[in-house]
Structures are given as structure tokens and as C-alpha cells.
Structure 1
Amino acid sequence: MDHKVNHLQMIQGIISRMGQNSFLLKGWAITLVAALFALSGQGAREEFLLFAYVPILIFWVLDAYYLRQERMYIHLYDYVRKKDDKDIDYNMNLDQLPVESSKLFVVFLSKTILVFYLPITILIVLAMLFLP
């Protein structure tokens, strides 16, 4: 039973790191958009708001990638949890999973991602329309 617990702890560590990476990306996205809003509001060129789309899109894709990886490792966790202790080989390869993993585009449009990045995108559009 010790082998299974150790393997599950390894997988749980990876899942935690994926969640932490997602959290950090969201923090950087907010920081960067706030900085670009501050620059555009201080009489700088309004094109700074247009530049906000590039990092938001990059952060959105990266966040979707980490969420996809997290989900895949959750499937691996469940797969290892059901194995016998004698069958534990500490394999972290996601290709061994019997389930088909989510496509990145599907995760890109998932509720947990859209709830965060879509309002930021809408806010940038509104700022471009209504800021002098």
C-alpha cells in the first residue's frame, strides 16, 4: 500500500503545481492589464489598450494548457487509485490513461477559464470605446 500512497502523493504534487501555475498566470494577467490601463489613462497613447489583447490571449492559452494538464493528472490519479499495490510502477506518462484527454480548445472555452478572461477582454473593449 505504501507504493500506491507514494505514487498518489507524487501525482497530487503535480496537480497542486498546475493549480499554482494557473493562479500565478491570473495574477500576472490582472497586473499587466492594470498597468496598461494606468499607462493609457495618464495621457499615453490609447494603443496601449490594444497591446493588452496579446498578453491576455497568451495568458488565456497558457491557463487553459495548465488546466488541461491538471485535469489529465486528475485522471491519472484516479487511474492509479484503482490499481493494485503490486501493479504500481510510478509511471507518470499520461499516454497510459484509458480516457481520452480534453482538447486544449475545449478547455480554452471552459467555464473556469471564461469567467476570468472574458470579463477582462470585455473591459478592454469598453475602455477602448469610452476612454478619451
Structure 2
Amino acid sequence: MEDKRKHLELVQGVINRMASNSFMLKGWAVTLVAGIFALAGKDMDKLYFLVAYVPIIIFWGLDAYYLLQERLYRSLYDKVRQMDKNKIDFSLKATEQEFNSKRNCYGSCLFSRTELWFYLPLAIVCTGIIIITHI
């Protein structure tokens, strides 16, 4: 039983790192967008404002990747949890092929509620600021 507990702790550690990375990406996205707007406000050039969409798109894609990895490791955690204690091999292999489901794919993560409810409003706020400052 101790082997199973250790294996679950290893998987849980990976899940925690993925969640932490996702949180940090969201923070960096907001920081970079705010910084771009601060620099663009000084020059008032439309092209600078449009550059604000670049970090939103890049961080949205990266965040979706980390969410996918987190979901795969949650599936691995569930598999290990149900595994017989004699079959524990301490494998941390969690691939889309092994845990193939509708939920464990990149597209599902990209358009998940947590991603949409963060990055879509950020893009809408950027659009609003661009419209307000250039009327």
C-alpha cells in the first residue's frame, strides 16, 4: 500500500506544478498586456495596441497545453488509484493516446470554461480600450 501512496504523491506533485504554471501564465498575460498598453499609450500608435493581442493568443495556447497536461495526469491519478497495489510501476507516462477521451484533447482545453472566461474577457477589454482610445 505504501508504493501506491508514493506513486499517487508523485502524480499529485505533477498535477500541482501544472496548476501552478497555469496560474503564473494568467498573471504574466495580464502583466504583459497592461505593459503593452502603458507603452502604447505613450506613443498612441494603433499598431502598438494591436500587439496586445499577441501575448493573449500565445498565453492562451500555452495555458491550454498545461490544462491538457493537468487533465492527463488527473486521469493517470485515477488509473493509479484504481490499480492493484501489486501492479504499481511508478510510471508517470500520461499521453493523449493512453487516456483518449473527448475531455483530454487540446481543443477541449483551449475552449474550456476556465480558459474562455479568462482570455476572452481580456481580449474584449483590449478591444474596448483600442476603440475608446482611437475614436
TM-score (norm. length: structure 1)? 0.93
Cα distance, 1:61 vs structure 2: 0.3
Cα distance, 1:43 vs structure 2: 3.3
Cα distance, 1:46 vs structure 2: 2.7
Please state whether the residue corresponding to 1:94 is helix, strand or coil: coil
After TM superposition, the runs of 4+ consecutive aligned structure 1 residues lying more than 3 A away are 95-99
* 8 Å CA contact retained: 2:68, 2:104: yes
* 8 Å CA contact retained: 2:60, 2:115: yes
Cα gap change, 1:102 to 1:29, in 2 (>3 Å):
same
C-alpha distance in 1, partners of 2:107/2:85? 36
State the identity %.
Answer: 46
C-alpha distance in 1, partners of 2:100/2:86? 22
Matched, 1:103 2:105: yes
Cα distance, 1:45 vs structure 2: 2.0
Counting only pairs closer than 5 Å after superposition, residues 1-132 of structure 1 correspond to structure 2 as: 1-95=1-95, 97=98, 99-100=100-101, 102-132=104-134
TM-score (norm. length: structure 2)? 0.91
Over aligned residues, Cα RMSD in angstroms? 1.5
Please state whether the residue corresponding to 2:43 is helix, strand or coil: coil
C-alpha distance in 2, partners of 1:98/1:73? 9
C-alpha distance in 2, partners of 1:85/1:91? 13
